[in-house]
Amino acid sequence: PKADQAFILLAEKKKTQGPLAYWGRIEVPVPDYKLENNKPFLLPRLPAIYDSENIEATAYALMVYVQRQELQTDAIVKWLNTQRLHDGGWASTQDTVVAMRALIEYTIKSRIRDVTNLTISIEAVALPGKITPFHVNTRNLATQQKVKIPNAYGTVKVEAKGAGYAILQLKVQYGVDINEFVTQPPVKAFDLKAQAFFGGRNASIITYESCQSWTYLDESEQSGMAVLEVKLPTGYFVHQPRLDKYVLSGQVPNLKRARYLPDKVVLYFDYLDQYPTCVNFTVERFFPVANMTRYLPVKVYDYYAPERFNETILDAFTLYRLDICQVCGSYQCPYCPIFAGSRVSST
């Protein structure tokens, strides 16, 4: 009947790439590999143009396939798992909720958890002579197991034995100090211009100013809910009530919320359009810290489609060049003769 006809239409929209199946507007690049010594090595997954939309649509399709007890569910599950981020979620909050629900329904109906009994061995070049075993079974399915590889070089070899499903992910973090090396978005969706102005004694006060606008007008006249994240230098602080007052003042009409987090300020906009929306706020040094990084990232993105983003790096050379004596700036500073010395005058 109508349900079967609808399912036929859904199945016709499915895209397949090797052992993977998904739903999306356009083809999504498969996880890339490179060959070294005739061995395939998986490369990092870069953002695609419709990440969050593809994930949510595929998750809903998986729920339909599971409900109908269709046989082609494994390929859909594999594709969803290739789209995961390192923290266990997907591109956005919304698609993460739907994807988690779909995978839970899949595991319940397929009864894979009842037979799961796996032994996984992790061997890293950076940890010579050490093989880390993981055991995944019905007693610890919900337990996340980790191994730290302190020196990020070489390769990681993974060997699994047994029955069942398990997800293994490798998280690598590194810093960049040139804008050209920052990960680029699949499409240019936002324009972002950010500045930092340093004032007070020894740059103890920083005023940030950031102007952002929506540029992907071929898709829509404005973005969805947009988020601006501004990284703060270590030791700098802004009181939350000051941010709340700024939001309530209405100086920026579409600014609806601002939050101070331990290392950044996050501002939420109802939307951004083609005209620049500018914000500014001031932070102050709360703890004296020296030898700080010279580079501070600023990022704007669509909350429901984070693959729509723009990121830039602010050059905080003014802070970078300060030594501990300049930051402390007091006669109480140890090993700082310029401040510890005193003058004796006589008449």
pLDDT digits (tens, 9 = 90+) for 177-204: 888 888 899 999 999 999 999 999 889 9
pLDDT digits (tens, 9 = 90+) for 42-82: 788 888 999 999 999 999 999 999 999 998 899 999 999 99
Using 50, 70 and 90 to split pLDDT, how confident is the model at 165? confident
Specify the range with the lowest mean pLDDT, choosing from 11-15, 99-103, 160-164, 173-177. Answer: 173-177
Range 124-128 average pLDDT: 91
CATH code, residues 187-328:
2.60.40.690
- Over 90: is that where the pLDDT of 326 sits? no
Q: According to the model, what pLDDT value does residue 1 have? A: 79
Using 50, 70 and 90 to split pLDDT, how confident is the model at 340? low
Instruction: Quote the CA–CA distance of 291 and 196 in Å, as a whole number.
Output: 18
As a whole number, the mean pLDDT across the chain is 91
- Over 60: is that where the pLDDT of 129 sits? yes
- Exposed, middle or buried by CB within 10 Å (0-12, 13-18, 19+), for 114? exposed
pLDDT digits (tens, 9 = 90+) for 201-250: 889 999 999 999 999 999 999 999 999 999 999 999 999 999 999 999 99
Q: According to the model, what pLDDT value does residue 50 have? A: 94
Instruction: Quote the CA–CA distance of 127 and 149 in Å, as a whole number.
Output: 7
Q: According to the model, what pLDDT value does residue 331 have? A: 66
pTM for the whole structure: 0.85
Residue 35: CB atoms within 10 Å = 8
Q: According to the model, what pLDDT value does residue 27 have? A: 92
Using 50, 70 and 90 to split pLDDT, how confident is the model at 347? low
Q: According to the model, what pLDDT value does residue 15 have? A: 96
Q: According to the model, what pLDDT value does residue 339 have? A: 61
Q: According to the model, what pLDDT value does residue 42 have? A: 79
- Over 70: is that where the pLDDT of 287 sits? yes
**In this predicted model, which residue has the larger pLDDT, 339 or 91?**
91
Give the start-to-end residue ranges of the domains of the chain: 2-163, 187-328
